Amino acid sequence: MSTDDATLLQLISAGDRRAFEAFYRAYLPRLGRFLQRMLRRPQMVEEVLNDAMLVVWRTAGNFKGQSKVSTWVYSIAYHKALKAMSKLDDPVEWDPDLLESEQLEPERYLMQEQQTALLWGIVDEMSAEHRAVIELTYYHGYTYQEIADITGCPINTVKTRMYHARRRLESKLSERKQDFL
């Protein structure tokens, strides 16, 4: 997909609107999911996503191929999300029903939904930087180096954020161990 993305970026830099539409459609689901989990404000997701994609449209020719195209796009979206969040201080509502689950037997499905809601409830209490590291690692499969490129911070900062996020998860889960039984 990376080669196709790079080809699309070249076409976008030449002003090809169809290439941009294909690129946008390809990134919409996963980038939207990332922003939803990071922002926790459904009303902001579309705006930030569109802002990020506008940057892609305007600067596609600036992509030098030093990372994967998706790393570059996620970096743009990450920074747009942080900027949007810095302007807000309203309380956040989180809907764990937005999480996807496989088709399971009713009891197992309910138990999985409860466990997922508990995990995301704990993650939800973390900073945006910690939520982003968890999301990019476990749901998008990025390496620490790629996350460092996306977030614009040193790889050791990414490792530290993941370390603290995991410790927080472990601590909170051990407190709520009975919820998993």
Tell me the pLDDT of the chain averaged across its residues.
83
Specify the pLDDT at position 37: 85
Q: Is the model's pLDDT at 116 over the cut of 80? A: no
35 and 105 share one domain: no
38 and 120 share one domain: no
87 and 102 share one domain: no
Q: Can you tell me the distance from the alpha carbon of 157 to that of 142, in angstroms, rounded to the nearest whole number?
A: 15
Average pLDDT over residues 8-26: 94
Question: Residue 31 maps to which CATH number?
Answer: 1.10.1740.10
Specify the pLDDT at position 92: 47
Q: Can you tell me the distance from the alpha carbon of 124 to that of 30, in angstroms, rounded to the nearest whole number?
A: 19
| Structural domain span for residue 58 | 1-93
Question: Residue 143 maps to which CATH number?
Answer: 1.10.10.10
The domain total for the chain is 2
Q: Can you tell me the distance from the alpha carbon of 42 to that of 173, in angstroms, rounded to the nearest whole number?
A: 27
Instruction: Single out the residue in 76, 93, 110 at which a domain terminates.
Output: 93
148 and 100 share one domain: yes
Q: Is the model's pLDDT at 96 over the cut of 50? A: no
60 and 103 share one domain: no
pLDDT tens digits, 136-146 = 988 888 999 99
Looking at the chain, the whole-number percentage of residues with pLDDT higher than 90 is 46
Instruction: Single out the residue in 46, 65, 93 at which a domain terminates.
Output: 93
178 and 117 share one domain: yes
Q: Can you tell me the distance from the alpha carbon of 100 to that of 112, in angstroms, rounded to the nearest whole number?
A: 10
Report the residue count for the chain.
181
104 and 181 share one domain: yes
75 and 1 share one domain: yes
Q: Confidence band (pLDDT; 50, 70, 90) for 100?
A: very low
